[in-house]
């Protein structure tokens, strides 16, 4: 890790408050990127609250959210993000073949139009930084306008997470191996 990882005794009051807020929330722990964000407690507080909403409380539900997160983790080759969300995606009901295809950077076959819409939207936005009209319309049909807004939020937030994890080299838990090729 290329940034100081604070022990609880080294944290100032603001850092302790943010860390405790995160650990007492829906995650039940301090999320990995917060280890870097604690260097700016106000940023950390705001980012972790947004992350809690985007991970647990959108209209997308766990399966579609985890699909969007995995596409983002793969786009950034964010090993820690992949490690965490592969497990969560499978638990949410993602087909293991879909997860494996994303890991190989191949287009998966999806069971539902909603999954296809999330994947197509995420890939378009990540790859071209724009969304074709037909892809946007399909996503609105499947997810509703609020769902598409939340999808863009998930993609943006997990881009921030992936960038943080990669920039500060926040690695996998000890004993875990990377699964993604560059």
Along the chain (182 residues), what's the average pLDDT of each consecutive run of 10 residues?
94 96 91 96 96 96 98 98 97 98 98 98 98 98 98 98 97 93 90
Question: Which residue in 76, 86, 69, 70 sits closest to 153, CA to CA?
Answer: 69
pLDDT at 162: 98
Whether residues 76 and 90 fall in one domain: yes
Whether residues 36 and 94 fall in one domain: no
pLDDT at 140: 98
* Distance, CA of 54 to CA of 39 (rounded, Å): 22
Whether residues 16 and 65 fall in one domain: no
* Distance, CA of 76 to CA of 59 (rounded, Å): 25
Q: Which residues contact 95 (CB under 8 A, 6 or more apart)?
A: 108, 111
Whether residues 76 and 118 fall in one domain: yes
pLDDT at 112: 98
Whether residues 66 and 149 fall in one domain: yes
Query: Structural domain of residue 72, as residue ranges?
Result: 61-167
């Amino acid at each position: 890790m290329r940034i100081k990882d604070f022990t609880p005794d080294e944290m100032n009051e603001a850092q302790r408050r943010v860390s405790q807020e995160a650990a007492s929330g829906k995650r039940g722990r301090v999320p990995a990127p917060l280890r870097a964000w604690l260097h700016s407690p106000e940023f950390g507080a705001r980012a972790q609250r947004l992350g809690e909403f985007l991970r647990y409380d959108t209209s997308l539900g766990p399966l579609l959210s985890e699909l969007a997160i995995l596409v983002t983790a793969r786009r950034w080759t964010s090993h820690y993000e992949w490690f965490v969300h592969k497990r969560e995606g499978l638990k949410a009901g993602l087909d293991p073949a879909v997860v494996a295809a994303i890991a190989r950077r191949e287009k998966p076959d999806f069971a539902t139009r909603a999954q296809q819409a999330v994947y197509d939207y995420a890939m378009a936005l990540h790859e071209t930084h724009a969304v074709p009209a037909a892809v946007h319309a399909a996503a609105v049909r499947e997810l509703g306008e609020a769902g598409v807004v939340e999808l863009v939020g998930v993609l943006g937030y997990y881009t921030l997470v992936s960038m943080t994890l990669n920039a500060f080299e926040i690695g996998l838990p000890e004993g875990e191996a990377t699964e993604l090729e560059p």
